[in-house]
Structure formats: structure tokens, C-alpha cells
Structure 1
Amino acid sequence: MSTEPAPLSIVEVQRSVFAELDRIAPVIDELGERFVAAGHELALVGGPVRDAMLGRRHNDLDLTTSARPEETERLLKGWADAVWDMGRAFGTIGCRKGEWQVEITTYRSETYDPSSRKPDVDFGDSLVGDLRRRDFTVNAMAVRLPGREIEDPFGGVLDLAHRVLRTPGTPEDSFSDDPLRMMRAARFAAQLGFDVDPAVTAAMTAMADRIEIVSAERVRDELVKLVCAPLPRRGLGILVETGLAERVLPELPALALERDEHHRHKDVYEHTLTVLEQAIDQEHRLESAPDFIVRFASLMHDVGKPRTRRFLEDGTVTFHHHDVVGAKMTRKRMKALRFGNDEIDAVAKLVELHLRFHGYGTGEWTDSAVRRYVRDAGDQLVRLHILTRADCTTRNRRKAERLQRTYDDLEARIAVLAEQEELDALRPDLDGNAIMRILDVPPGRVVGEAYAFLLELRMDLGPQTPEVAEAALRAWWAERSGE
């Protein structure tokens, strides 16, 4: 599991930022001289400054300037390899120079109308004023160019060394200007391992309802960044504790089912966060990490439990069909957050299948059952392996080892059958053209039914010769025609 980052000293912060400024000097020094010569101010700002102090390198640079967008665009032409202006309405001109992507934004301020989902953008007239409008002090630092003087009017360096998130002004004013900053607090806590200042937490709790004016797309994007961060459990806990999760992902706090001395069962909320962390530990099995699909499926896999919980007379608790119910709830939530259909289908499939492994007892898997497992998982098979293994959070070491051995056996069976039968492309032994020729029928519903019959035959018996498959098809057709 991910570990907490070590604390920083001011000396380490200074050393890191100066080393990073030297690395990106070919861009920032030339641009700084270019803007100053034209009578404008220019500064590296925000995330790149923060990350430089943390020793984190990247080639996407954010700068701010006193120049208006049209002047910025003029200064970049002839210097940059490419220039674009998609962000012109927000004062931003972008460009590429070699391996660096650069965005330069005119000093500005953003405020929200209480009933609006979009910020109003006004140009500002000073660097300090631009920094004051930013979300947190660790993002409200700048490096003036080309002289490289650090501008830190709100104590961001100290907060960064102490790993704490505070706002430049009052958190109430900051969150009134842009309510999405409340979610950013949780996201940065998850990304950077920072604590949230108590005053910020209090404002988030008091103002959680304000998040409802923010568009679903912006909320979704912050949630994805949080879930894909190194420490998502920390950020998700903040969303739940402040009440923000009730507004953006209510299925998560609902997992904290009430318990009493007569009806003992696992804490589903804590179990879910543990499953998430255990899934992250297995992401090395995927081609790329972090993987949002497997992480969000881990987060949502038990959301059907609150709706399906039943108490039996002997005091035990059941959650029958919570996998199917949870998959429907997952689809509904992801649609509300404006996720794409492919992502929705992938996550919902994993939620629906996460119990499939446990339906086969202690490993008495027939070849037919293995084929169906692979077919139903489809292109989510590796993620299903990860989720199923991560879902074992029992403290009973012997039980946990037994489950892992059983799943090892299943994966080995899949590998053997895959090599023998090309499981990744399971198809009937006869295609549609052969079905129409043998049965002498035109394209239509009958062909689909015959295809489904042959696919089930393939699942049960494995690959068959065309002759055996044809005989089975004719027998099926004769029985069906005689009904």
C-alpha cells in the first residue's frame, strides 16, 4: 500500500525548486526576457512551482502575465513551435516548445454567482492579486521571470513544508468563489499526502451544499483525479467526513452501515477502502497505472449492500443479489456524473461479476464454468482477477490463504484452456453462414437462436469438429421444429 510522504525542510524545498528552475531554464529564461522586453511581467505559477518544491518534475508549465491574450499570442509567435488559443475566453494562450507544453494566462480573478455553474472571468492587474484568488497557499506561489525571485505572499512555502492545505484568504470566501475547491482540497490531500487545515475542513462541512451548483463534468474530473491519486483513501475520507460525498457520491457514505451488538457484520465502508488499497497493490498486472476502472469498481463493488441487507432470525445478516443491485446503482451514478458509456459498462460489469468466483464453492470448477467466467468477463478479465483478489479482507490468515490458492488454481485453469481453445475469442464452431446453409433459412431471428445454442454447446463441451457441431445443430432444429 502507498506510504505517507516524509516531511520536508525549508532547505530541501529551496534546493528542489532551484534544481527544477535550472532544468526548465531553456523555456522560462527566454520567455521571461521576451515578455519583460515588451514591458510585461511573467511568472511561473501554481502547480509547477509547488511540484518543483516537492522535487516532482513534469514538462507542463503554467505561467501568468500582465499581458492580455492577444499580446501573449504575438510574443509567442516566432518563438514557439506551435501556438493555440482554445482557452482565450479564460485569458489563456497555449504553446509547445520542444518537449515543453506551456500555458500562459493573463492575471485574472474568478467568482461564482450563487446560482451559476460557470465562473465569471475578469482580468486582474497584479501578480499578488492573481495569487490571492487561487485555491490554496501551496498553489499561490510564483517565480518571477527572468530574475527567478520567489513570490510567496500567503506563506505557501511554510505550509508546503508542514504539508498542510490552507486558503490564501478565508476558506469561506474561497469556496464561495469556486465551490469545486472543496473537492480539490480532498484531491490534493490524496495526491500530496497533505493534511487539511481545521478551518478549511470546517468551511467545507458548513458549505457542502455549494458543490451542487458545480457542473457534473467538473465534479467528475476531480473525482477521477482523487481516485487515481497515490492516497485515495485519505481524500475519500475527507469527502465523507465533510458531507461532500453525500452530494457527489452518496453511495460511499451509505456503506457505513449502523451496527449493534445483536447484528454483527463487517464495516462495509472500511472494507471497501481496504479493497481499494489492495486493488491498487495489484495494478502492476495492468498495462498502465493508476487505473481508474479497477479503482472505481473496487469503490463501488458493495454499494448494493445497504439496499439488500436483511436480518435473519439467528442474528446473521444477508446481502443477497447486492452484486446485481450494485451494478445498476453504479450505472445510475456514473451516468449522473457524465462518464462515457465505455467506462460505465466496464465498471458496472466488474461490480456485477465480483461475486462470481465465490459461486463455485472451493474450486470445483468445470471447464464449462471456466469458459463462462472468461466469456462474461470479456475484456475486463484481468481487472476482475484484481478485484476478486482484493475483495478478500478477512483477518483469518488460513481462510485468506485458502481463497488465494483457490483463485491461483482458477487463473491457472484459465491459462491452460486459453492456450488450448483460444478463450479470448470464444465463438460457436459454426458461423452464421454455415447455420443458414445447413438449416436452409434466411438471415433473421432463427439464425441468432441457433448461434446462441451453438455457443452454449461450445461452453459446455469445448471445441467440436464441424461434423459434430452440424449434427447437434440439426438435432436442435428438429426438436425445435417439432414443438
Structure 2
Amino acid sequence: MRVSPVSGARAGSAGSCYRLADAGMKGGVDRENSELEDLLAPVIAAGRQAELPSPAQVERVAARAPRILDCPPAQLHARLTEALCARHPHLALQALHELGLLAQLLPELEATVNFSQESQRRHKDVWEHTKTVVWQSVPRPAVRWAAVLHDIGKVPTRCFLDDGRVSFHGHAEVGERMFIHGPAARLGFPPALRQRVAVLIRMHLRPGQYEDSWTDAALRRFYTQAGEGLRDLLDLSRADITSKRPGQRKRCLLRISTLSRRVQALIEADAQVDPLPSGLGHVLIAELGLSPGPVLGRLRRRLEALCEAGELEAGREPSYYVERSRDLGLVGQG
């Protein structure tokens, strides 16, 4: 049985990328699939086997590169994802560039290739940085795609400051908009993945900005905005650390790990149900003749401890705790 050199799926099997929903369209669709397979085969090989395209392959594919956009977007996205989630995604990106396919598929990223050399004032090479981030990232589609596109907003936001520094202020938000109006539509991203990658691009700087002074409220805003993509965001942020300065990488990773632990602890704490009902304090005051203050506070803490120990039922009505306080002689205990 023939095996596809691109997907590794056996032709005609359930895992084949080229099964046809409509047999009557088979001829035209097969031609599109054949074109797609031929153009992307060197990219898949680079990602899987660390083999960059030969000069002959570059010449052959580059001459036909514009045809890549005639291929079905969903299948195009699937093949690119396959290459980017392979063992050598940075080489898959380099192959896309050398073959002339990157300029067709991701012109936003192609614009970063010579970006740092376009002026007399040099700055970090965005293209080389991107390839490093992609290579360091975990091989989940959302993280890999976000790694590929996280810095595309730097091209339109670059600003040279009077003190010699370079600013890319707002590049994360600009990059998100560029992704939504560009690659997301052009390459047939599934809706859920499109939404996840957009959030990751917009928030990719946030974990690295964490400080111990962040309040619980700030942490809640952070993980609420990240939503179900929180794990992906933290993994992307770890991959985005490419500094070669001694100790810098370790400090950045420690910062993200600290953020992760604090967020997880807060999520777990927020998920816990208060064992005592709302308004119990007012009922205890009225029924037991207590006054607001330390005595009431000690009684509440004792009731909470008994609930946690399983000696009292949690989540019951206030009258239950009034009665049990009397039965157990808790009123007036120091």
C-alpha cells in the first residue's frame, strides 16, 4: 500500500489526508493535493529529518511557489502544522523561506527575515529569534503557531528612540490583529485554534512581566484573560527566553515558574467551597447572644475546622451550625 511522503498516511486509509468527500470531484482535488504535496515535501523533510532543500529543489519549487495559495486552505494548514510540529520546526521555517513559500504563505513573517539589517541601528534579529523560539517550544499546534507568529507585530511598530534604544511598543496587540486578518484567514485555521493563537500572541509578553508584587486580583485578571490557554501561554513564554546573558535565562524561567505556582494555588483556593453558609455570623449573633468581635471569630474558625475534619457537614443551613454549636458546647470556648 502506497504511503504519502508528506503525511506518512497510507493512501486510502482512514488517516489519509486526501480522502475525498465527493468522489465526483476526485480529479480536480487530486491535482490540488498533488501540487500541495510536491511543493511542501521539502518542508516536511526539513521538519522531520533536518534536511534543508537542495539547490535543485529550491529552483523547482520557487518557480511554482505562487501556486501554493491555490491549494485547499484546510489541507494547507494541516500540512504546515505537520511540519511545524515535527522535531526540527526551525528548519521547516528556513526551508519555507529558501523555497520562496514563506513569502506567499506568511508574508508577515517573511518581512522579519532581513528586518534587523534594514537600518544603520541594529537590534535583535527577529527572524533568528523566532526560529529559536519555535525550536524551543513544546510541539503542540497552538504553541508552535504562536511561536511562529508572536513577533510579526514588531515590523510595523519599530521605533528608534533618541537614547539609541529600539522600541516595539504595542507589538503584541498589533501582531494579534495582523494574525486575525492575515494568516488566520489565509491558511484555514480552525476556529478554536485561531482564537487560541490570537490570545497567545496578544499575551505572550505578560508572563515575563510578572513580579512578586502582583496582587491576587492581578493574578485573577491574568489567568481569566488567558482562559483555557493558560498552560500554552506559560509554555510559550518559556520558549521565548533566548537570552545568552549569564544567569538571565535561569532568572526568567524562575519568574515564570513562580507565576505558575501562584496562579495554580489561587485557582485551587478559588475552587474551594466555603464550608459555612453566607450570613452565618448574623445568625450566630442573634441566636446565641454573641457580639461581633474575637469570640464570634473564634467560633467561626472552630466550625470551619470541624467541617474540614469531617466532624460537621459543610454547606448546611445556618440553623444547623447554631444547633451543633450548642450541642458541642462551643459557645464561650476560648
8 Å Cα contact 2:3/2:10 also seen in 1 = no
Residue 56 of structure 2 is matched in structure 1 by 199
Q: CA deviation at 1:237?
A: 0.5
Q: Report which structure shows greater RCO (CA 8 Å, sep ≥6).
A: 2
Give secondary structure in 2 for the equivalent of 1:229: coil
Superposed CA offset, 1:207-233 (max 9, x none): 222323323233222212111222111
Residue 292 (structure 1) aligned with residue 292 (structure 2): no
- Normalising by structure 2, we get a TM-score of 0.71
Identity %: 31
Paired residue for 1:229, among 86, 102, 118?
86
8 Å Cα contact 2:45/2:51 also seen in 1 = yes
State how 1:234-273 maps to structure 2 within 5 Å.
234-256=91-113, 257-259=115-117, 262-273=120-131
Superposed CA offset, 1:63-118 (max 9, x none): 79xxxxxxxxxxxxxxxxxxx99574477xxxxxxxxxxxxxxxxxx7xxxxxx74
Q: CA deviation at 1:180?
A: 4.8
Superposed CA offset, 1:408-432 (max 9, x none): 2211211221221129x9xxxx9xx
Residue 176 of structure 2 is matched in structure 1 by 327
Residue 274 (structure 1) aligned with residue 141 (structure 2): no
8 Å Cα contact 2:36/2:71 also seen in 1 = yes
Could you say which structure has the higher helix fraction?
Answer: 2
Q: CA deviation at 1:62?
A: 3.5
Instruction: Tell me how far apart the structure 1 counterparts of residues 119 and 21 of structure 2 sit (CA, whole Å).
Output: 59
Give secondary structure in 1 for the equivalent of 2:117: coil
Residue 162 of structure 2 is matched in structure 1 by 313
Could you say which structure has the higher strand fraction?
Answer: 1
Give secondary structure in 2 for the equivalent of 1:379: helix
Distance change (3 Å), C-alpha of 1:85 and 1:316: closer
RMSD: 3.1
Instruction: Tell me how far apart the structure 1 counterparts of residues 141 and 152 of structure 2 sit (CA, whole Å).
Output: 17
Paired residue for 2:45, among 159, 181, 188?
188
Superposed CA offset, 1:112-147 (max 9, x none): xxxxx74559xxxxxxxxxxxxx9xxxxxxxxxxxx
Runs of 4+ in 1 over 4 A off after TM superposition: 84-91, 117-121
Instruction: Tell me how far apart the structure 2 counterparts of residues 421 and 244 of structure 1 sit (CA, whole Å).
Output: 48
8 Å Cα contact 2:36/2:76 also seen in 1 = no
Residue 46 (structure 1) aligned with residue 20 (structure 2): no
Instruction: Tell me how far apart the structure 1 counterparts of residues 192 and 100 of structure 2 sit (CA, whole Å).
Output: 29
Residue 352 of structure 1 is matched in structure 2 by 202
Q: CA deviation at 1:365?
A: 1.5
Instruction: Tell me how far apart the structure 1 counterparts of residues 172 and 103 of structure 2 sit (CA, whole Å).
Output: 22
8 Å Cα contact 1:264/1:316 also seen in 2 = no
Give secondary structure in 2 for the equivalent of 1:46: coil
Q: What letter corresponds to residue 346 of structure 1 in structure 2?
A: R
Q: CA deviation at 1:310?
A: 0.5
Residue 259 of structure 2 is matched in structure 1 by 410
Q: CA deviation at 1:250?
A: 1.2
8 Å Cα contact 1:327/1:349 also seen in 2 = yes
Distance change (3 Å), C-alpha of 1:87 and 1:194: farther
Query: Any unmatched runs of 5+ in structure 2?
Result: 14-18, 279-334
8 Å Cα contact 1:219/1:248 also seen in 2 = no
Instruction: Tell me how far apart the structure 2 counterparts of residues 221 and 120 of structure 1 sit (CA, whole Å).
Output: 17
8 Å Cα contact 2:208/2:237 also seen in 1 = no
Residue 364 (structure 1) aligned with residue 221 (structure 2): no
Q: CA deviation at 1:260?
A: 6.4
How many residues of Structure 1 are paired with residues of Structure 2 in the alignment?
267
Distance change (3 Å), C-alpha of 1:246 and 1:388: same
- Normalising by structure 1, we get a TM-score of 0.50
Residue 398 (structure 1) aligned with residue 256 (structure 2): no
